[in-house]
Amino acid sequence: MSEKISYILIGDSKGRDLANKSNDLQLSGLYLWSNAFEKFGKEGKIDIFWRKEDLEDFDIVHINYTPSNIQLPSVIREELGNSSSTKIVMNVDLDISQMSASWAYHTPNMVRELKMADTVFHVEPKGAEILSHLLDREVKVNPHPIDVSTMYDYIKKEREPLIATLFHRYTGSTLIQYIAQRNIPLRRALFGYTPIGKQAAVANAGMFDQILMYMSFPEYIEEMSKAVMGCDLYSGYSYGRATIEMAALGIPAVVSNTIAASHLFPETSVHPFDTKGAEEKFKKIISDADFADEVIKTAHTGCSIYSLKNSYDRFIEILELS
């Protein structure tokens, strides 16, 4: 497809705008597709359009499918019909290991709604594989974009003696990450902590030296860039937004091998519950400067595949292959 194409994500941009604070550095993930199409395509937009006369101004209508908009695809398909040149692209915005809790009672509806799309994708391979099996159709792998080139400006020459650890609200886990780090002579900082039920007081029970809760995206990246090491031992399946951000910032990280972006850290990826293996990786990064430099170089070089330009090209490619 040689001509530039236009794109709209159906949704509300208020959350994105709040997170970005009008900064040049834009929040990683789903909302960045509009930026990629605005910069490299014909147009990129986020809005709550659903009428045919508005939707047909765009080549692509993107629906981020969640339990909160379970019938939206049918509404859009009914408006566009089956002969429109405007294509409906859908992705399922959920870790495949967490799907049962959200979708078990809605599976027939989900299958029916996903069939309204011209193209379906998931952000990581395991999710795409299982959805392909469920839907009896090909589901593409298409990770959301990361503005890695802008993050390069945040790289620090001098860093603080701390490990930046990612908190994931899907699991609420803090103990596994702590066990992996408890013998490492660095400060422990937990990023993105959200109190959840019984977990509300756990992270404050001496496991971490610093708790960072919600902050704007530029503030988050600024704080993250100070870390001498990173940790993302997520136990589910994700494409690894934070892992890619660490790579872009030149931070050597120990990450779960269930994260798709763990390919950026081939020498420091472990099973998410391999706390001893993770500890050994941390110690090697500290004790072996050449090893740490190689980890940084490999990750930093590889993360460019998630840039806005490469993500735009990848999105166009999955359309051509549909």
Parallel/antiparallel/unpaired status of strands 87-92 and 253-256: unpaired
Most confident of 76-90, 104-118, 201-215: 76-90
Region 182-190 average pLDDT:
96
In the chain, % of residues over pLDDT 70: 93
Going by pLDDT thresholds of 50, 70 and 90, the confidence category of residue 193 is confident
**Between 3.40.1440, 3.40.50, 1.10.3470, 3.40.1360, what CATH number should domain 6-145+307-320 receive?**
3.40.50
pTM, rounded to two decimals: 0.93
pLDDT: is 321 or 29 the higher one? 29
**55-64, 135-144, 189-198, 279-288: which range is least confident on average?**
189-198
CB atoms within 10 A of CB 289: 9
Asked whether the predicted pLDDT for residue 316 surpasses 80, the reply is yes
Q: Is 183 exposed, middle or buried (0-12, 13-18, 19+ CB in 10 A)?
A: exposed
- Alpha-carbon span 269 to 265, nearest angstrom: 6
Per the prediction, the chain carries an average pLDDT of 91
Write the pLDDT tens digit of every residue in 235-254.
999 999 999 999 999 999 99
Distances (CA, A) of 208 to 119, 163, 186, 188, 212: 43, 10, 11, 5, 10
Region 263-283 average pLDDT:
98
Asked whether the predicted pLDDT for residue 200 surpasses 90, the reply is no
Asked whether the predicted pLDDT for residue 195 surpasses 90, the reply is no
We find that the CATH architecture of domain 148-305 is 3-Layer(aba) Sandwich (3.40)
* CA proximity to 21, closest of 225, 241, 152, 217: 217
pLDDT value at position 69? 87
- Alpha-carbon span 287 to 64, nearest angstrom: 44
pLDDT value at position 93? 80
Helix, coil or strand: residue 46: strand
Write the pLDDT tens digit of every residue in 125-162.
999 999 999 999 999 999 999 999 999 999 999 999 99
Q: In the chain, where are the structural domains located?
A: 6-145+307-320, 148-305
Write the pLDDT tens digit of every residue in 28-76.
999 999 999 999 999 999 999 889 999 999 999 999 998 888 899 999 9
pLDDT value at position 104? 65
Region 201-208 average pLDDT:
66
pLDDT: is 291 or 20 the higher one? 291
pLDDT: is 103 or 123 the higher one? 123
Residue with tokens 């660490």: 246
pLDDT: is 260 or 321 the higher one? 260
Distances (CA, A) of 163 to 3, 79, 177, 274, 294: 45, 50, 11, 17, 18
Helix ranges restricted to H, the chain:
14-20, 32-40, 52-55, 72-80, 99-103, 107-114, 125-135, 148-151, 175-181, 217-224, 241-248, 275-287, 289-302, 308-320
Going by pLDDT thresholds of 50, 70 and 90, the confidence category of residue 14 is confident
